[in-house]
Amino acid sequence: MVVANIVVVGSYVVDLMCRTPHMPKPGETVLGGPFKMGPGGKGGNQAVAAARLGSNVTMVTKVGIDVFGDEAVRNFEKEGINSTYVTRHGEESTGAALIAVDQDSENMIVVALGACGKITQEDVSDAISSFDEANIVLIQLETSIEAVEKSVHLVMELNKPIILNPAPYQEFDEELLKGVTYITPNETEATLLTGVDVKDENSAREAAIILKKKGVKTVIITLGKQGCFVYDGNDKGRLISGFNVDAVDTTGAGDAFNGAFATYIARGFSLDDAARQANAVAALSVTKVGTAPAMPYESDLSSFLKKSNS
């Protein structure tokens, strides 16, 4: 088996999650529970997802000099993730995500980036040797835009493939898209990037064509339980169907997808097969509570796919 060497540049935040019977209205206090705290952040979640599927993962992020930062480093080590380029910020605290999950397993999230919002170009440049050794580099927008821009430029110079997960959406120089190998927005992010109201296969195709024209080589738009739409310009694109599961907590499903897609595309899987594997990993992740702790192992994935095919 080809082992994927993946570098993840992005966020680590501590997840502070509480169940709620319904989402509070402005000014309303809701009695909820239970409460859980654990490792999170889109970058951290994607790194764990890839590592649990057997990838060699290096994380590039920044945390505070605080108890949450200590826990971040311990968690990366526990998951077998290289934390050489996890730096500490002397003034900013480790980031935090405030997550509410309702009885329908839908979620609302507020993220305070803290230290991971202060990743600098120098921090990224210091990690260049890890980029050189990588099969693929995975980047999100849940950090400083200067870190995103520097990462894309460095990886382009090294002629390595890049996955850009444009989440959470924030404005950036769209010239960067010309250096992106794969872009993986969800419906909301694809809508913000293109102006197309993405909600199904046809609207996803329309948005994907626009993103392709902006310079991205391959577009993968995630569509929740519908699956994902893939488009590389060689045909009209196609919907890769999702998997039906009993969802408990949808938080982190996109991160599961991205970590898995990076793993399987780096191993040499075809675009469609890598997307299908990623759909399955995302489906498995929503059957458990939490983000990083809910990421499945490759043995879980194998069992799930065998049952799905039976």
Segment 269-284, tens digit of pLDDT: 999 999 999 999 999 9
Tally of domains within the chain: 1
Amino acid 107: pLDDT: 85
In Å, how far are 29, 280, 300 from 44, measured between CA atoms?
31, 20, 20
Phi, psi of 62 (to 5 degrees): -140, 135
What pLDDT, in 10s, does the model give residues 201-227? 999 999 999 999 999 999 999 999 999
Calculate the CA 155 to chain-centre distance.
Answer: 18
Binding residues for ATP: 186, 222-227, 254-255, 279
Q: Which domain holds residue 72?
A: 5-21+33-309
Q: State which amino acid sits at residue 145.
A: I
Amino acid 177: pLDDT: 96
At residue 251 the predicted structure's pLDDT band, cuts being 50, 70 and 90, is: confident
| 281 close to 242: Cβ distance less than 8 angstroms | no
Number of alpha carbons in the 13 Å side-chain half-sphere of residue 280: 21
Q: State which amino acid sits at residue 113.
A: L
Amino acid 260: pLDDT: 98
Question: For residues 9 and 130, what is the distance between their CA atoms, to the nearest angstrom?
Answer: 11
CB atoms closer than 10 angstroms to residue 20: 17
Instruction: Note whether residue 17 is domain-resident.
Output: yes
Instruction: Note whether residue 278 is domain-resident.
Output: yes
What pLDDT, in 10s, does the model give residues 37-63? 989 999 999 999 999 999 999 999 999
Question: For residues 48 and 280, what is the distance between their CA atoms, to the nearest angstrom?
Answer: 16
- Which among 245, 227, 263 has a CA at the least distance from the CA of 307? 245
Q: Dihedral sign, CA of 157, 161, 167, 171?
A: positive
Question: ∠ CA 20-227-37 to the nearest 5 degrees?
Answer: 30
Binding residues for substrate: 13-15, 41-45, 142, 255
At residue 162 the predicted structure's pLDDT band, cuts being 50, 70 and 90, is: very high
Question: For residues 3 and 84, what is the distance between their CA atoms, to the nearest angstrom?
Answer: 20
Instruction: Note whether residue 110 is domain-resident.
Output: yes
| 71 close to 93: Cβ distance less than 8 angstroms | no
Binding residues: 13-15, 41-45, 142, 186, 222-227, 249, 251, 254-255, 279, 285, 288, 290
Instruction: Note whether residue 28 is domain-resident.
Output: no
What pLDDT, in 10s, does the model give residues 101-115? 898 888 888 989 999
Question: What CATH number does residue 126 fall under?
Answer: 3.40.1190.20
Question: For residues 2 and 263, what is the distance between their CA atoms, to the nearest angstrom?
Answer: 10
Q: List residues with catalytic annotation.
A: 255
Over residues 83-99, mean pLDDT: 94
pLDDT at 159 exceeding the cut of 80: yes
Instruction: Note whether residue 26 is domain-resident.
Output: no
Instruction: Note whether residue 27 is domain-resident.
Output: no
